[in-house]
Amino acid sequence: MVFEAGHSLRSKLSALPKVELHRHLEGSLRLETLVEIARTHHLDLPSYDLETLRPLVQVVGGDSPDFSTYLEKFKLLRRFYATPELIARMVHECIADAAADNIKYLELRFNPVALSKFRGFELEQAMLWVTEAAEQAQRDHHVTVRLIVQIGRDESVFTARRIAEAAVAARHRGVVGLDLAGDETAYPATPFIEVFRWAKEQGLHITIHAGEVGPSANIRQAVEHMGAERIGHGVRAGEDPKLVQWLAEQGVTLEMCPTSNLHTGAVAGPSEHPLRRYLERGVRVTINTDDPGISSTTLTDEYLLAVQHMGMDLPAIQQTILYAAAAAFLPKDERGALVTWFEQVFAPL
Ligand SMILES: [Zn+2]
């Protein structure tokens, strides 16, 4: 009976049309594709066997839940971005997987330095390959895709500015936002404030990874000083009750990623995840996958986790989807149309 109930709940959540605002291309690669690339391109790896490769690029039981273990997986993945064709294939597969999970609107983010540096490509080239592939893939899979360009916190300000300039130049190719990601505890955001202010003036939307493993003060800094309209994760906002209230009043959207938050140790256990608590306090929370390849998850899995272990129910999940649509980095009329479409779909439910 328990299985039956779980099974029908999964079917319901799977069938829901969805919005995803926070998914990293580099964290979305299919394991089977990685094995194929490793073999075809003779990559220098300990093994070409799927199960031997898995713990190197995916979180597995026995991994300690901490941020550095999580980031290690990305480092090895850089070896796989071997040709423009492979990067395009990864974009296609990532968008196909999102569409198969009934995602209707996806904002996919990528780090152009990660995609280019290992093989000596220019970051502007990598950006072009991603935008072209995303343009084609969204047509093939009937899903609307917009792109967010990511700056790593460990980059120099010089490189950050170069990335921001390339992102602004790619606005006509589907790039809508700029993001800052990486280890908050080792690299403060302060050196990048001017870069983000400039990008915002040029018309890009801003989202910042903050309050994930770093303190809640990073969230306030991102909103007040860097122009962030959305916050990646923001799980630690609750350390400052006034901040939670303020986020609700300001209408800041949190891009929360439950499984990722467990894998990075940002949250100790599912029942301690603040998703429901923040929603009840009026914060515009959304549910996302972060890195479906690395965490071996789908957006349906994340909804299921939220319902089964985080006190959410179907109306609450729908509310988070509406919040996500309302926070899409789209022109006002397109955003309004997206919200209306979801409201109409959810009304009979
Ligand atoms: Zn992220």
DSSP string, 143-209: -EEEEEEEEETTS-HHHHHHHHHHHHHTGGGTEEEEEEES-TTTS-SGGGHHHHHHHHHTT-EEEEE
Mean pLDDT calculated for residue range 324-334 = 98
Residues annotated as part of the active site: 212
Q: What spacing in Å lies between the alpha carbon of 167 and ligand 1's midpoint?
A: 18
Instruction: Look over the chain and give the mean of its residue pLDDT values, rounded to a whole number.
Output: 95
H helices of 16-83, where?
Answer: 31-40, 50-57, 67-77
Q: Which domains does the chain have, with CATH numbers?
A: 2-29+85-338 (3.20.20.140)
Residue in 204, 211, 137 with CA at minimum distance from that of residue 172: 204
Residues 221, 226, 227, CA angle at the centre, nearest 5°?
110
Taking the centre of ligand 1 as the mean of its atom positions, its distance from the CA of residue 341, in whole angstroms, is 27
Q: Distance between CA atoms of 45 and 62, rounded to whole angstroms?
A: 21
Q: Report yes or no: 326 and 21 within 8 Å, Cβ to Cβ.
A: no
pLDDT at 47 over 90: no
Residues with CB under 5 A from ligand 1 (ion): 290
The model's confidence at residue 3, banded by pLDDT at 50, 70 and 90, is: very low
Q: Residue 45 has what pLDDT?
A: 85
CA–centroid distance, residue 154 to ligand 1 (Å): 15
Q: What's the distance, CA 12 to chain centroid?
A: 23
Q: How many CB atoms lie within 10 A of CB 275?
A: 27
For 282-310, what is the mean pLDDT? 98
Residue 4 has pLDDT above 60, yes or no: no
* Residue 214 pLDDT > 60: yes
pLDDT at 5: 63
pLDDT in the model for residue 44: 86
- Residue 112, pLDDT score: 98
Distance between CA 234 and CA 244 in Å, rounded?
10
Which pLDDT band holds residue 305 (cuts at 50, 70, 90)? very high
Query: Is pLDDT at 222 greater than 60 in this prediction?
Result: yes
**How many angstroms does the Cα of residue 202 sit away from the middle of ligand 1?**
23
Taking only the tens place, the pLDDT of each residue in 226-275 is 999 999 999 999 999 999 999 999 999 999 999 999 999 999 999 999 99
pLDDT of 1 over the 50 cut: no
CA of 118 from ligand 1 middle (Å) equals 21
Percent of the chain with pLDDT over 70: 98
Share of the chain above pLDDT 90, in %: 92
- Between 61 and 167, the more confident residue is 167
pLDDT digits (tens, 9 = 90+) for 53-101: 999 999 998 898 989 899 999 988 999 999 999 999 999 999 999 999 9
